[in-house]
Chains A and B, each alone.
Chain A
Amino acid sequence: MRDELLSIIEKNSRIAINELAVLLGKEEIDVANEIAKLESEGIICGYHTLINWDKTSIEKVTALIEVKVTPQRGQGFDNIAERIYNYPEVRAVYLISGGYDLLVTLEEKSLKEIAGFVSDKLSTLDSVLSTATHFVLKKYKDHGTIFDKKHEDEREIVTP
């Protein structure tokens, strides 16, 4: 049940327990228990809302920053990653294989604020060797959801 449950609520976290039980063919109590377990095991980490900010009047600028760092003895990358992800404006931090080490996603109100973060906070960290900042111009798809695309049902109304 676990895999199927996760795949449903990953797409729709607002679904009611009784509806979920019907879809999974399980008892409500078992579904509720399983969700509680997933939460306590830290597998379900939150129930967020996917917002297309471009459609609002609120200004948001997203930047992806490639960061090269010096790993620390006994700590690897974990320590420096923590120093970066503790900033609330940092949305995501990933350790990456390839040409650089950390990929940092940043969301701010303006380009200036992002520039400020990179120059004042990020670049000045001791283990940071270099950064390269990329600004997001348009989000086509996020979290598996395509923005701005209406899917019309073009099938015939009735077919045998």
Chain B
Amino acid sequence: MTKPLSDIVQDIKPSGIRKFFDIVSEMRDAISLGVGEPDFDTPWHIRDEGIYALEKGKTFYTSNAGLKELREEICNYQKKHQGIEYNPLSEVIVTVGGSEAIDIGLRAMINPGDEVIIPQPSYVSYEPCAILAGAKPVIIDLKAENEFRLTAEELQNAITDKTKVLILPFPNNPTGAIMEREDLEKIAKVIIENDIYVMSDEIYGALTYKGEHTSIASLAGMKERTILIDGFSKAYAMTGWRLGYACGPSEIIKQMTKIHQFAIMCAPTTSQYAAVEALKNGEEDVKMMRQSYNQRRRFLINAFKEMGLECFEPFGAFYVFPCIKEFGMTSEEFATRFLEEEKVAAVPGTAFGDSGEGYLRISYAYSLEKLKIAMERLKRFVDKLRALQ
């Protein structure tokens, strides 16, 4: 019998912190700081709209690219917040989470051997999706001294004549780093000079705590070479609805829609109706949640300062990324001991790439009360480690 498995799939390494996840999953009583999703429920009026869609029997497929009304609302949103004008009929596709958009976006653009530049630490899907699409991933290790922003020099040094796409994951999971307009302008210049494309994952865009988020697609000459990915999971606390979207040049969206049509058909209809409500009437909810995240962010940064733990101030997403190098342990050792000795689960930075070594991802998608207890335990833990040094 021939071997049943694909070599490409087998070669993709499983998450390097399998062991840590296994220990965590057996500790039900641990306080977790480990999730990558909001602690808020989806606002009721949005859930209600989903329920109403079911009641009215809206249980059919939508068009492949998504409900026209939803695509129009997405275009309104991007125009209002970024000043970018997309055509709802040809430049938008509604996907099953931002994750699907990453996958089909890469598959639509990659020829065998093309290089995809991936700055790390970053979300775990980019590298495997690039490999599955037949690309060669080229990793840029982002640096703490730049507050984990991508610099034009780093980008220029990673570009070869095979480079096709840069993945630009800001606001960033796991570091919380953002890219401001002046940072993006320098990146855009390199992109245009080298005639490459950008896949800008802006799923945390609405969760920015220093001015309003800027999309690289809004800069001159960039709309035609950017796939903008966003969605409803983080901003509207809708992770379980599995709904995201991509906006970009019609020639790319057209091919993405082709893959989506054959692989997925369409995003869940109930979720799409709920998402229309989210975009129409959800701005106050986002504002309220952002304010709450921002308070927790300030609380954590202050707690680190008080315990003398090095951490740059992140202005996006709902993560902080403190440095634990002073304790002479790997991220995984630190996270494992922290879990075993204090029963708090935080994710080792190395889960998001080798350059996450020496850091810990702490999520603040938790109530202040929980964060307070967790920080008391972290303080006790680092005090103990320092006393032993």
Inter-chain contact A157/B30, CB cutoff 8 Å: yes
Report the minimum CB–CB distance from B83 to chain A (whole Å): 27
What are 12 sample pairs from A and B whose C-beta atoms fall under 8 A apart?
A4-B291, A23-B295, A23-B298, A153-B32, A153-B39, A155-B32, A157-B24, A157-B345, A158-B24, A158-B345, A160-B351, A160-B352
Report the minimum CB–CB distance from B208 to chain A (whole Å): 15
* Complexed CA–CA distance, A157 and B345 (Å): 8
Query: Given A4-B291, A22-B299, A24-B295, are A155 and B37 also a contact pair (CB < 8 Å)?
Result: yes
* Complexed CA–CA distance, A48 and B134 (Å): 63
The interface residues of chain A lying within 8 Å CB-to-CB of B124 are: 160
Inter-chain contact A159/B35, CB cutoff 8 Å: yes
Inter-chain contact A7/B291, CB cutoff 8 Å: yes
Chain A, interface residues (CB within 8 Å), range: 10 to 19
Inter-chain contact B291/A155, CB cutoff 8 Å: no
| Number of A-B contacts defined by CB within 8 Å | 51
The interface residues of chain B lying within 8 Å CB-to-CB of A148 are: none
Inter-chain contact B299/A158, CB cutoff 8 Å: no
Inter-chain contact B298/A157, CB cutoff 8 Å: no
* Complexed CA–CA distance, A7 and B21 (Å): 37
The interface residues of chain A lying within 8 Å CB-to-CB of B32 are: 153, 155, 157-158
Inter-chain contact A158/B295, CB cutoff 8 Å: no
Inter-chain contact B295/A156, CB cutoff 8 Å: no
Most buried by B among A8, A153, A155, A156: A155
Inter-chain contact B123/A160, CB cutoff 8 Å: yes
Inter-chain contact B35/A156, CB cutoff 8 Å: yes
Q: Which of B333-362 contact A (CB under 8 A)?
A: 345, 347, 351-352
Interface check A25, CB cutoff 8 A: yes
Report the minimum CB–CB distance from B89 to chain A (whole Å): 34
Interface check B160, CB cutoff 8 A: no
Q: Whose C-beta in chain A lies nearest to the C-beta of B352? A: A160
* 0 or 1 for each of B5-42: is its CB under 8 Å from A? (1 = yes): 00000000001000001001101001010111101000
